[in-house]
Amino acid sequence: MSLLKGVPVGLLGTGIALPEKVLTNQDLEKMVETTDQWIVERTGIRTRHVAAEGTVTTDLAEEASRKALSAAGVAPEDLDLILVGTNSPDTLFPSVAAKLQGRLGAKRAGASDIQSGCTGSVYALTFASAGIAAGLFRNVLVVGAEVLSRLIDWTDRNTCILFGDGAGAAVLGRVEEGRGRFLGASLRADGAKHDLITFQGGLVEYPASEETLRDGRHFVRMKGNEVFKFVNRELPPFLEEFCKSVDVEASSVDWWVFHQANWRIMEGVLRRFGVPAEKAVVNLDRYGNTSAASVMIALHEALEDGRIGRGQKVIVTSFGAGMTYGAVLFEV
């Protein structure tokens, strides 16, 4: 079963941070061999935000976190744990979460990065809600933050058109019975497909060298067609099984917050379930693929503009390098 039991856990507040610089498809036409039409038809992306020189992932994480804490009415010193989903940390260690804990002054909080590809925030939401439900924690800050633009080969049209920078944060905490709460979650991975999305250079398997630089191992590499096939094959039956395990009909879910990677994937999954496309929260056209930050940014925007309202059921789902995937169900 994927149902969450124990202490009721609710979403207390959210926030986001987006760099000022916007990179359009027309800008990319001047950089690589591509066109606005080609990008839009294959991905649905029109613009993406890119961090300014000197801005690191912790900077965006901090901005989004302070907004989320303010919205939740929770002081940093009342946090018990900080989890950051990211694939573009400032450094491998110390973690973004540890630096963020220090900047916020969250003196009582533990801190850890969750590196599970673009599914990192879904993993973090699951760990946070489970820990609170079990009575281990009272308030947990979950962040998805990325500055992937530093890890992209801007001469590779297959990857540079996809990614953007940004951060989203949410505060989870104990709530009274009868309030909206987290209802269930499920996490999966298929490590046999670990080579579909990679960043190889600079660590144990491929220590930094002239050869790794020459071979482009310090950039994100992706087997795009294989990723597309994997997601279309694995995600629909997984989500179908997940809905059954938490005892909800797909049609009764009010909003679907997908990882903002490709509109064709989102539309295909919804069509399979017979769910109107209007039930998907979509900001892919404006932000591109912000990796672990994407579902957090999309969730915040839909809550902020009132699309997601009190009493509604929401499924947040993602997939990413590993290959990992997962889903979380909650009621607002």
Please enumerate in sequence order all residues whose Cβ is within 8 A of that of 54, keeping only pairs 6 or more positions apart, or say none. Answer: none
Q: Which is the catalytic residue, given 139, 259, 262, 300?
A: 259
C-alpha–C-alpha distance, residues 111 and 104, integer Å: 12
DSSP string, 212-278: HHHTTTTS-EE-HHHHHHHHHHHHHHHHHHHHHHTT--GGG-SEEEE-TT-HHHHHHHHHHHT--GG
Handedness of CA 63, 65, 66, 68 (dihedral sign): positive
Is residue 158 within 8 Å of 42, Cβ to Cβ?
no
Q: Which is the catalytic residue, given 25, 87, 118, 300?
A: 118
Q: Which is the catalytic residue, given 25, 87, 262, 289?
A: 289
Active site residue 289: yes
**Cβ-count burial 11-38 (b if 16+ within 10 Å, e if not):** bbbbbbbbbeeebebeebeeeeebeeee
Active site residue 243: no
Q: What is the crossing angle of helices 224-245 and 263-273, to 10°? A: 40
C-alpha–C-alpha distance, residues 114 and 111, integer Å: 10
C-alpha–C-alpha distance, residues 199 and 221, integer Å: 6
Run of H or E residues at 57 = helix 57-72
Is residue 263 within 8 Å of 44, Cβ to Cβ?
yes
Is residue 197 within 8 Å of 221, Cβ to Cβ?
yes
What phi, psi does 62 have (nearest 5°)? -65, -45
Active site residue 259: yes
Edge-to-edge strands, sheet with 313-320: 182-189, 324-331, 313-320, 255-258
Beta pairing partners, 221: 198
Where in the sequence numbering do the catalytic residues fall?
Answer: 118, 259, 289
